[in-house]
Amino acid sequence: MTTATQAWTRRHILSLMDFSVAELDMILQTAASFREVLFRKMKKVPALQGQVVTNMFFEPSTRTRSSFELAAKRLSADTMNFAPGSSSLSKGETILDTAKTYLAMGTDIMVIRHKQSGVPQAIAAEMDRINSGVSVLNAGDGLHAHPSQALLDLFTICRVVDPEKPRCEVVKGKKIAIVGDVIHSRVARSNIWSLTAAGAEVHLAAPPTLLPELFRELAVGTNRKLFVHWQIDEAIADADFVMTLRLQHERMTDHLLPSLREYHRGFGITAERLKSCKPEVKILHPGPVNRGVELASEIMDHPALSLVSEQVTNGVAVRMALLYLIGSSKANQYSHS
Q: How far is the CB of 24 from ligand NCD (least distance, A)?
A: 19
Name the residue nearer to ligand NCD (CB basis): 174 or 186: 186
Q: Is residue 154 within 8 Å of 24, Cβ to Cβ?
A: yes
Nearer to ligand NCD, 142 or 327 (CB): 142
Measuring CA to CA, which residue among 214, 199, 91 is closest to residue 154?
199
The residues, ordered by sequence, that sit 6+ positions from 142 with a Cβ below 8 Å of its Cβ are: 114, 115, 116, 117, 118, 119, 186
Q: Residues 142, 116: contact at Cβ < 8 Å?
A: yes
Nearest to 101 by CA among 93, 113, 92: 93
Q: What value does the CA radius of gyration of the chain take, rounded to a whole number of Å?
A: 20
Contacts (Cβ under 8 Å, ≥6 apart) of 36: none
Question: In the set 241, 286, 326, 329, which binds ligand NCD (CB under 6 A)?
Answer: 286
271/183 Cα distance (integer angstroms) = 25
CB of 290 to ligand NCD, least distance (A): 9
Which lies closer to ligand NCD via its Cβ, residue 52 or residue 151? 151
Minimal distance, residue 238 CB to ligand NCD, in Å: 26
Q: Distance between CA atoms of 13 and 311, rounded to whole angstroms? A: 20
In the complex with ligand NCD, the residue whose CB is nearer, 5 or 67, is 67
Amino acid identity, position 141: D
Q: In angstroms, give the least distance from the CB of 190 to ligand NCD.
A: 9
Is position 74 an interface residue for ligand NCD (rule: CB under 6 A)?
A: no
Task: Count each helix (H run) and each strand (E run) in the chain, helices first.
Answer: 12, 9
- To ligand NCD, the closest distance from the beta carbon of 91 in angstroms equals 27
Residue 268 interacting with ligand NCD (CB under 6 A)? no
CB of 142 to ligand NCD, least distance (A): 9
Output 140 or 166, the one with its CB closest to ligand NCD. 140
Closer to ligand NCD by CB, 132 or 209: give it.
209
Binding status of residue 287 toward ligand NCD by CB under 6 A: yes
Element (H, E) at 265: helix 260-267
Closest CA to 241 of 201, 192, 286, 198: 201
Q: Phi and psi (nearest 5°) for 178?
A: -115, 110
Q: Which of residues 113-142 bind ligand NCD (CB under 6 A)?
A: 140
- Residues 149-208 interacting with ligand NCD (rule: CB under 6 A): 149, 186-187
Contact call for residue 327 and ligand NCD (CB under 6 A): no
Count residues near ligand NCD (CB under 6 A): 11
CB closer to ligand NCD out of 52 and 320: 320
Q: Report in angstroms how near the CB of residue 285 gets to ligand NCD at its nearest.
A: 9
Residue 63 contacts ligand NCD per CB under 6 A:
yes
Residues in contact with ligand NCD by CB under 6 A are: 63-64, 140, 146, 149, 186-187, 246, 248, 286-287
